[in-house]
Each structure stands twice: as structure tokens, then as C-alpha cells.
Amino acid sequence: MNQAWLMALLIEATKADWKRRNEIHVLLSNLVADTEDDRGDGIGLVLDSLWVSTVKHNPALLPTLFPAFAIMCGDKDGTIVADINWAVYDEHFASQVK
């Protein structure tokens, strides 16, 4: 998944109703499940646990977890986990750091 789109989905999920938030969760879970070996199952468990726990605690925190979701859902180019596109993270949080 394109990581700019991933960040946009995480931001959208902070304000979405439960139905749309669930659709985003399912989309991300399906990306992880679409792997060729069993390692995707373990990564999927981590994704689901992180998502559910964060949504229960404070959905506004979802964008701060971009690096974890990027590793699990980003374009992997044949590897198990994706490289993090830090420019996407920095672009979102740059105004908050200044």
C-alpha cells in the first residue's frame, strides 16, 4: 500500500464513525493477510491488537502509529516488512513539532 494513502486512512479513522473505521481496519488486515507464508498471520495479530487497543483507548492516536502500520501494510517489494517512508510521517507531524 502506498504509505501516503495509509497515513490518509489513519487520519480519516480518527474522525470516522464505527462503520468506516471498521472498513479501514478490514482493509489493512487484508493487506497483511495477503502474504505467501505464515508470517503474515503473526503480523496480522499484531496489527489487529494494535488497532483495537488504540481505537478503544484513543482513536486520535492512530496517525502516531504510522511507522508500525507502514512496516506491516506498506509496499514490501518481496520482503516480509516494508521500509518506512519517514517523509510521509514528517509531513503530517511537521506542523505539530514547530
pTM of model > 0.85 = yes
- Give residue-wise pLDDT tens across range 14-54: 999 999 999 999 999 988 866 666 666 788 889 999 999 99
The pLDDT, as a whole number, for residue 41 is 73
Apex 19 CA angle, 14 and 90, nearest 5:
25
Distances (CA, A) of 18 to 61, 82, 95: 16, 28, 28
